[in-house]
């Protein structure tokens, strides 16, 4: 069961920020910037330690004002080469609101540009993991909103430096618990360091028990002492790696994972059996972007909420002028009285802030849609529709020369070699070879002997396109069993979609158009009455689903260097961006962008067990 996050309510006095809940300051009264540099940067021997590394990972307990992060980021960009990458993970039970941070950052002119970039991507205050890409992708900030020990138990990472910056142990004993110290020991890499302003005996004993050699050093300002230490072992040397991969499938799954690997310095051969990108289900003129909230914190709910907000940030980061999407809001109508009660209870629970989800009655829902609708429901003001082919195009533009596209090349078999994998066509001709292979070709992945065991099913879906006309405007996506979009850039409203398991027939059918128009009538009856059924068109595509309609992401069992990003079903726009980042982190050995239990549950090996 997820619990709502209660934001911090700081007070501003005498140039400092106080937490009235904990009766403590967010930084030293002797100076916040100087304290951060003395305690956390110098205390962890930075920048010297990260100057020897291509990638460095910091974990912080207590994000607070973000001051430590901004200082670390500024120093990192000033002291490392362009190819270096910083992962910074930070947990907070009571995050500050966006407006409070904006007020604070005006006090630090030297950090203002970085603060502005952070605030542009600052996530909503909802439980869970939130991955942000900053500084052109050089810095990945993962914010963990929730109880520290609980959140750290969900982290999968190898941490090089620890910033322990919760409120003082005497003020916030829950933060400095045995469970938290145990997690710090689990996450520490060989030779990892830690630093904290605290010199409390409880902290020293806890870090010693976690495997750190602890020492006292001079503190900052009026604080006489602080603690630092090193984890057992020597820091591992980074070894060169052959960063080449081939990705099979040129839809949103394949294009997005290719872009995520390219951002990490990989070279990718992208193989697509059609004559260009997004020619199958990813070729629809519009797809809906919305999460699926629940009261019980189900895997579906947590994954779609995380994926939804990550997708929004990525859409805003892609600079391609050809990326087509509209953040028009999504209205999801309730089916019946039982669902009305459920939707209203979730919307009013406080779990999600109103900028993410609101409950609206029939009158407000109708005003938002621009047409009378038959039921109340959920309003997602940040939701909308996306043109999947333009997203594929934007991803490959971002990847640049790192990706080589092989159109109209169908892989007949995937063969293991001494050096990795070889993709061959029906004549035995080699299409590409690489140490790593990634299957992103939906249900067709089962054609290969090495992946024939995967629990994937084809599902045929057909959309219907209605010509847009003046004076017949829909202002938001309206959804229930089906959906209808506002007029897209291509001059059509998209209505969808049918759901037919087992079929791989890609020809559009008149019966399915009639079924979609019947769905439209249930959503927006007056609008449906204006539609001329003779003038509609559409297309069918074959989706791919797993045993529980969650994607399969990770290593394919029994085949070293073979991975999959499969089973996106009808939620590809929500799943694909975050799952592509997850897979790239898994391959690279980087901190994962979402909770361990979610990542483990998406792994193909775990899904094989589900299907039995």
Q: What is the mean pLDDT of residues 40-53?
A: 95
Q: What is the mean pLDDT of residues 244-258?
A: 98
> What's the pLDDT score for residue 239?
81
For residue 27, name the pLDDT band (cuts at 50, 70, 90): low
- The rounded radius of gyration (Å) of the Cα atoms in the chain is 25
Q: Which residue has the tokens 């951002």?
A: 263
**Separation of alpha carbons 262 and 272, rounded Å:** 18
Element (H, E) at 287: strand 287-289
CA distances 222 to 32, 168, 592, Å, are 13, 15, 39
**Separation of alpha carbons 80 and 602, rounded Å:** 35
* Residue 89 phi, psi dihedral angles, 5° rounding: -110, 135
Q: What is the mean pLDDT of residues 143-164?
A: 97
Bridge-based pairing of strands 85-92 and 55-61 is parallel
Q: What is the mean pLDDT of residues 594-609?
A: 93
Full set of structural domains in the chain with CATH: 11-231 (3.40.50.150), 244-280+389-456+548-611 (3.50.50.60), 328-382+457-545 (3.30.9.10)
Question: pLDDT tens digit string along 511-536?
Answer: 999 999 999 999 999 999 999 999 99
Q: Is the pLDDT of residue 309 over 90?
A: yes
Question: pLDDT tens digit string along 184-209?
Answer: 999 999 999 999 999 999 999 999 99
> What's the pLDDT score for residue 32?
76
CA 228 to chain centre: 33
192 touches 161 (CB < 8 A): yes
Q: What is the mean pLDDT of residues 570-599?
A: 98
- Taking the CA atoms of 295, 296, 299 and 303 in sequence, report the sign of the dihedral they define: positive
Nearest to 269 by CA among 139, 424, 106: 424
Element (H, E) at 563: strand 562-566
55 touches 590 (CB < 8 A): yes
Cis peptide before 373 (omega within 30 of 0): no
Tokens of 486: 């506002």
Q: Which residue has the tokens 């089973």?
A: 567
For residue 15, name the pLDDT band (cuts at 50, 70, 90): low
Question: What count of Cα atoms within 13 Å lies in the side-chain half-sphere of residue 437?
Answer: 28
> What's the pLDDT score for residue 471?
86
Q: What is the mean pLDDT of the chain?
A: 94
**Separation of alpha carbons 589 and 585, rounded Å:** 6
Q: Is the pLDDT of residue 222 over 90?
A: no
Bridge-based pairing of strands 16-19 and 11-13 is antiparallel
Got the DSSP string for 106-165?
TT-GGGHHHHHHHHHHPPPS-SEEEEEEEGGGTEEEEEEES-HHHHHTT----EEEEEE-
The three state secondary structure string of 450-487 is HHCCCCCEEEEEEEEEEECCCCCCCCCEEECCCEECCC
Comparing 439 with 610, the larger pLDDT belongs to: 439
**Separation of alpha carbons 235 and 192, rounded Å:** 7
456 touches 546 (CB < 8 A): yes
87 touches 591 (CB < 8 A): yes
Lowest mean pLDDT among 51-55, 377-381, 566-570: 51-55
Q: Is the pLDDT of residue 220 over 90?
A: no
Tokens of 532: 């001329």
Three-class SS of residue 243? coil
Q: Is 428 left (phi over 0), alpha (psi -120 to 50) or beta?
A: left
Residue 12, Cβ neighbours under 10 Å: how many?
12
Three-class SS of residue 173? coil
494 touches 461 (CB < 8 A): no
Three-class SS of residue 179? helix
> What's the pLDDT score for residue 43?
97
Nearest to 291 by CA among 308, 274, 271: 308
**Separation of alpha carbons 55 and 49, rounded Å:** 11
For residue 51, name the pLDDT band (cuts at 50, 70, 90): very high
* Contacts with 166 (C-beta within 8 Å, 6 or more apart), sequence order: 61, 62, 148, 172, 175, 176
Q: What is the mean pLDDT of residues 478-495?
A: 96
Tokens of 127: 């439980």
Q: What is the mean pLDDT of residues 148-166?
A: 95
> What's the pLDDT score for residue 175?
83
For residue 612, name the pLDDT band (cuts at 50, 70, 90): very low
Render the burial of 310-324: b for 16+ CB within 10 Å, e for the rest: bbbbbbebbeeeebb
Q: Is the pTM of this model over 0.75?
A: yes
> What's the pLDDT score for residue 10?
84
């Amino acid at each position: 069961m997820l619990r709502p996050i209660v934001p911090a309510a700081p007070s501003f006095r005498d140039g400092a920020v106080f937490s009235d809940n904990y009766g403590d300051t967010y930084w030293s009264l002797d100076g916040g910037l100087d304290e951060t540099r003395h305690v956390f940067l110098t205390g962890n021997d930075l920048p010297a330690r990260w100057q020897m590394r291509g990638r460095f990972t910091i974990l912080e307990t207590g994000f607070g004002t973000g001051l430590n992060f901004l200082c670390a980021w500024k120093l990192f960009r000033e002291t490392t080469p362009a190819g270096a990458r910083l992962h910074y993970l930070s947990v907070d039970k009571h995050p500050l609101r966006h407006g409070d941070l904006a007020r604070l950052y005006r006090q630090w002119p030297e950090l203002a540009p970085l603060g502005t970039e952070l605030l542009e991507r600052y996530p909503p205050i909802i439980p869970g993991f939130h991955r942000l890409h900053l500084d052109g992708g050089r810095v990945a900030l993962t914010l963990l909103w929730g109880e520290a020990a609980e959140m750290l138990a969900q982290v999968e990472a190898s941490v090089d430096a620890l910033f322990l910056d919760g409120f003082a142990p005497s003020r916030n004993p829950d933060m400095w618990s045995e469970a938290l110290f145990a997690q710090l020991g689990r996450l520490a890499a060989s030779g990892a360091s830690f630093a904290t302003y605290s010199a409390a005996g409880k902290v020293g004993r806890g870090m010693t028990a976690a495997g750190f050699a602890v020492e006292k050093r001079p503190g900052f300002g009026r604080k006489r002492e602080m603690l630092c230490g090193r984890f057992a072992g020597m820091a591992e040397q980074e070894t060169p790696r052959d960063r080449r991969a081939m990705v099979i499938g040129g839809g949103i799954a394949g294009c997005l994972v290719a872009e995520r690997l390219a951002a990490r310095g990989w070279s990718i051969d992208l193989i697509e059996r059609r004559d260009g990108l997004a020619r199958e289900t990813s070729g629809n003129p519009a797809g809906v972007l919305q999460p699926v909230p629940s009261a019980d914190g189900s895997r579906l709910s947590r994954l779609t909420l995380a994926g939804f907000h990550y997708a929004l940030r990525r859409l805003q980061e892609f600079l391609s002028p050809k990326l087509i999407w509209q953040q028009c809001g999504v209205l999801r109508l309730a089916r019946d009285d039982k669902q009305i009660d459920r939707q209203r209870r979730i919307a009013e629970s406080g779990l999600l802030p109103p900028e993410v989800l609101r409950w609206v009655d029939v009158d407000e829902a109708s005003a938002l849609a621009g047409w009378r609708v038959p039921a109340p429901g959920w309003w997602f003001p940040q939701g909308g529709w996306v043109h999947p082919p333009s997203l594929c195009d934007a991803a490959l533009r971002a990847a640049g020369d790192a990706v080589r596209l092989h159109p109209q090349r169908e892989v007949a078999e995937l063969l293991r070699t001494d050096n990795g994998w070889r993709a061959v066509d029906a004549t035995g001709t080699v299409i590409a070879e690489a140490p790593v292979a990634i299957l992103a070709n939906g249900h067709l992945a089962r054609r290969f002997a090495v992946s024939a065991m995967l629990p994937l099913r084809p599902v045929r879906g057909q959309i219907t396109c209605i010509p847009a006309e003046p004076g017949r405007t829909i202002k938001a996506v309206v959804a229930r069993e089906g959906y209808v979009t506002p007029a897209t850039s291509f001059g059509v409203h998209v209505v969808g979609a049918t759901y037919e398991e087992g079929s791989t027939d890609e020809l559009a059918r008149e019966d399915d158009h009639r079924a979609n128009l019947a769905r439209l009538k249930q959503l927006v009856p007056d609008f449906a009455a204006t539609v001329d059924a003779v003038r509609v068109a559409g297309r069918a595509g074959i989706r791919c689903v797993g045993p529980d309609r969650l994607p399969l992401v990770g290593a394919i069992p029994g085949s070293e260097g073979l991975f999959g990003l499969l089973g996106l079903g009808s939620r590809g726009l929500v799943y694909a961006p975050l799952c592509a980042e997850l897979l790239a982190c898994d391959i690279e050995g980087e901190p994962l962008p979402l909770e361990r239990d979610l990542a483990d549950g998406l792994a193909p090996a775990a899904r094989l067990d589900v299907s039995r």
